[in-house]
A and B are shown apart, each in its own frame.
Chain A
Amino acid sequence: TQLLEQSPQFLSIQEGENLTVYCNSSSVFSSLQWYRQEPGEGPVLLVTVVTGGEVKKLKRLTFQFGDARKDSSLHITAAQPGDTGLYLCAGPPGYNFNKFYFGSGTKLNVKP
């Protein structure tokens, strides 16, 4: 079983559409991070959320950390083909920094 479950698993949309990716856990995380990964490469950090209820914006991307720090969401506005990739949430469970788990992943494909 995955400590961090993401939904949807796959998403194929047209350019210009909006989308939301969810990351859920039954465990509390001291922080959660969102990454994007291209095939054959390491993951690239998009954002870190630390405070429950926190909202961060990165251009067309909006990230939210749940009040209870058990879930997070990533919303993309007006998706572009360049947004295509594997999106991963990740973090250390509780305050155990000797662990760092990734979510199950969401593969996004934005068609022109």
Chain B
Amino acid sequence: GAVVSQHPSRVICKSGTSVKIECRSLDFQATTMFWYRQFPKKSLMLMATSNEGSKATYEQGVEKDKFLINHASLTLSTLTVTSAHPEDSSFYICSAREPRTRSGYTFGSGTRLTVV
């Protein structure tokens, strides 16, 4: 089945630094990937849709310059949290659209970001 690998699973960074999260489709090509943010005990909030070879489409209220998304290949999308602040601490999850799977969408296992 379709597998999405998300890395790292946990990261701690200092305020003001940037951190990159990778999302890879391991056995399929993903022209569309999604990035979500999840606060404790809350649902997943769509941040942006990442399309290979084009600019990401951000949801209303999501800062494009704060959350840089790059989808340079059909198997890799990255989310870079720039100039991180403690309020950026959260659980980030990526997903890739794969119409041939039962669900049509495959999720990474998430990245726990803590900014200190």
Contacts and interface: CB of A to CB of B under 8 A. Distances in A.
A11 to B, nearest CB: 13
Contact-residue bracket for chain A: 20 to 34
Given A40-B91, A41-B110, A99 B43 contact: no
Q: Is the interface of B mostly helix, strand, loop or mixed?
A: strand
B110 A48 contact: no
B44 A48 contact: no
A75 interface: no
Q: Is the interface of A mostly helix, strand, loop or mixed?
A: loop
Interface residues of B, number: 26
A31 B112 CA distance: 30
A87 B89 CA distance: 23
A102 B44 contact: yes
Contact of A42 (B57, B93, B104): B93
Interface stretch (B11-19, B34-42, B70-78, B79-87): B34-42
A104 B43 contact: yes
Interface of A: 2, 6, 31, 33, 40-43, 45, 48, 86, 88, 90, 97-105, 107
